[in-house]
Amino acid sequence: MGVQWVLVGHGLLTLLVVISFLCGQWPIFQGTIIERIHHFITFGAYDYFLRFVVVICGSQGRNAILSVENYCCDRPNPILQVIYLAIIGVTYFLIVKSSFSYMPGYYLSGVHRYTSFLAVGVGVLLFLLTSFSDPGTVKAENVTEYLSAYPYDNIIFTEKECSTCKIPRPARSKHCRICDRCFARFDHHCGWMNNCIGEKNIRYFMAFLLWHFFLCIYGTITLGLVLAGELKEHQVIYILTVYYGVENSFYSLSPHVVQWLLSSYNTQILLMVFLAIVSLLLAGFFGYHTHLCLTNMTTNETFKWQDYISWKRKLNEAKASSAALKASIYATNGEVMPPESKWRMFFRRSSKKNEEVVVKDNIYDRGAFRNLLEIMCPLSGRRSFVDRKSE
Ligand SMILES: [Zn+2]
Ligand SMILES: [Zn+2]
């Protein structure tokens, strides 16, 4: 029993570290232990590593590492693209090698040999489409089109010029310092795709996430059915029931079943665990992006709104404290105010609080349906805006 708990603990710890590493910077994890672990893995540990290098190799060693970092993180490079292809390739290869001999099996027909290949192929195609499609580059030739498609809200987007491209910066666009270009409806720079996600390729990006989520689920279920078929064909449950007596429930037999599976099918089990974890991460990521799409927000804008709201709150606090100061000056001038009842004070405070609530007024949110339509059919490509440009 003790060994089982150690295994469960180990699994949960691994899951926590993996999730913290991949998703720790997401807004939902703000202020939680997951964000702190993420910070340690991504910055803290790296910082200690740099100090260690300085002690061992001097500042020259540190400069070498910083230039590698500059190449990997600040300039376009295909490292993560290659890693993605390696992960999907190796995973599929392991599945073919370990499990294709069980197809057709008790629960699976032979058709999965072909459908699985097709499913992986479509996944890679979606990856290539997102990686190599134009996210919506803003250039001098098309900037008027983008300016009319995306009006300024004068809250988080005001009229500005891109200092690098020397063209007006339309609302919702951003200059990506890695790609060194301005992109319309900028979402984020995706290292895995080595490309920005913007107006024109967010639909492919969403399709990529959804397809890979289903791909992982498909893999997990198929491998599960391979194992279930093996159990059935070897009559494992039957043999165990006879050996341990019929009164044993499935629950008490399950450790023996798991032991039998682990002894001969550990590749399949490892693959299942891996695919299940990745499918959970993809579900989270897809869910987050779906929420953004439905409310017509971009990842970039969530940061901008955060900044705006915290700035506005500070401003309100400053106003409140100056008002309090004024009131105290009046009081010292001799205009003694009658003491306020506790009830009135309470309500006054709560109504004051309501006044101070900073509202996020997203003018680009035009209802879930039209927002989704905007994802599928980008605004700047629509006839109304193209025509306006040619006028
Ligand atoms: Zn620019
Ligand atoms: Zn970029």
Confidence band, pLDDT 50/70/90 cuts, at residue 14:
confident
Query: Does a structural domain hold residue 327?
Result: yes
Q: Which residues surround ligand 1, an ion (CB under 5 A)?
A: 162, 164-165, 175, 182
Nearest listed ligand to the Cα of residue 190: 2
> What pLDDT is recorded for position 341?
62
Catalytic residues: 190
Residues 12 and 67 in one domain: yes
Look at the alpha carbons of 207, 282, 104, 125 in this order and tell me if their dihedral is positive or negative: positive
Q: Residue 342's domain spans which residues?
A: 302-390
Nearest to 184 by CA among 307, 303, 300: 300
Structure tokens of 354?
């309501």
Over 70: is that where the pLDDT of 336 sits? no
> What pLDDT is recorded for position 389?
47
Last residue of a domain, one of 48, 74, 100: 74
Query: Does a structural domain hold residue 207?
Result: yes
CA of 388 to the centre of ligand 2 (A): 28
Residues 109 and 205 in one domain: yes
Nearest listed ligand to the Cα of residue 177: 2
Residues 23 and 82 in one domain: no
Number of domains in the chain: 3
Q: pLDDT of 121-143, one tens digit each?
A: 999 999 999 999 999 999 999 99
Residues 63 and 105 in one domain: no
What is the mean predicted confidence (pLDDT) over 218-236? 93
Nearest listed ligand to the Cα of residue 191: 2
Last residue of a domain, one of 47, 74, 101: 74
Residues 201 and 320 in one domain: no
Residues 93 and 67 in one domain: no
Residues 254 and 341 in one domain: no
Q: pLDDT of 229-278, one tens digit each?
A: 999 988 888 888 888 776 667 777 888 888 889 888 989 999 999 999 99
Q: pLDDT of 152-199, one tens digit each?
A: 999 999 999 999 999 999 999 999 999 999 999 999 999 999 999 999
> What pLDDT is recorded for position 348?
56
Which burial class, exposed, middle or buried, applies to 308 when counting CB atoms under 10 A from its CB (0-12, 13-18, 19+)? middle
Query: Does a structural domain hold residue 142?
Result: no
Per DSSP, the three-state class of 197 is strand
Residues 93 and 195 in one domain: yes
Residues 243 and 214 in one domain: yes
Query: Does a structural domain hold residue 4?
Result: yes
Residues 254 and 360 in one domain: no
Which burial class, exposed, middle or buried, applies to 316 when counting CB atoms under 10 A from its CB (0-12, 13-18, 19+)? middle
Residues 125 and 4 in one domain: no
Residues 47 and 127 in one domain: no
Last residue of a domain, one of 74, 101, 123: 74
CA of 167 to the centre of ligand 1 (A): 7
